[in-house]
Structure 1
Amino acid sequence: MEPKEPGNKKVPDFDKLNDRIIAEMPSEPMIVIKTNLDPKNVMDQNPYYQSGEIKDPKEFKNYFEE
């Protein structure tokens, strides 16, 4: 009986990947605070928003709003 190996054979080994950066987990907790200096529109200056790539803008806004 052959051993079962899950995964795709075409995917490179994780240790051999060199085209991405994997950030370490922070050693301390973080606090994120919304201030009056933040833009009123969640799509302004948002690094997760690229024009035309959002399939459901209403859901996107709900996620980033309070």
Structure 2
Amino acid sequence: MKKTLPDFKQLNDRIIAEPSHEPKLVIETNLDPQQATEENPYAEGAQRVSKTFEAFFQGDES
């Protein structure tokens, strides 16, 4: 017997938020960590991370 997934509109056990139509204000302060790996849950326990990882979290466009 093959299980079928419920229709997406019938799912009521999760919240899917709509994207905001308002602009966001992001401010960097002197309290922010200096390294991309500090207090970052995606780098938790990692000794080294790639340059791409660091660039992504530091906002570099390279």
Normalised to the residue count of structure 2, the TM-score between the two structures is 0.58
CA-based RMSD of the aligned residues comes to 2.6
Is 1:39 the counterpart of 2:33? The answer is yes
- Say if 1:33 and 1:16 are closer, same or farther in 2 by CA, change over 3 A: same
- Residue 50 (structure 1) shift: 4.9
Dislocated runs of 4+, deviation >4 Å: none
Percentage of matched positions with identical amino acids = 50
Q: Work out the number of aligned pairs and report it.
A: 54
Match of 1:61 in 2: 54
Task: Flag the structure with higher helix content.
Answer: 2
Structure 1 residue 15, shift from structure 2 partner: 1.1
Cα displacement (A) at 1:17: 2.2
Q: Which runs of 5+ in 2 are unaligned?
A: none
Aligned partner of 2:53: which letter?
F
1:64 is displaced (CA, Å) by 0.9
Identify which of structures 1 and 2 has the higher relative contact order when contacts are C-alpha pairs closer than 8 Å and 6+ apart.
1
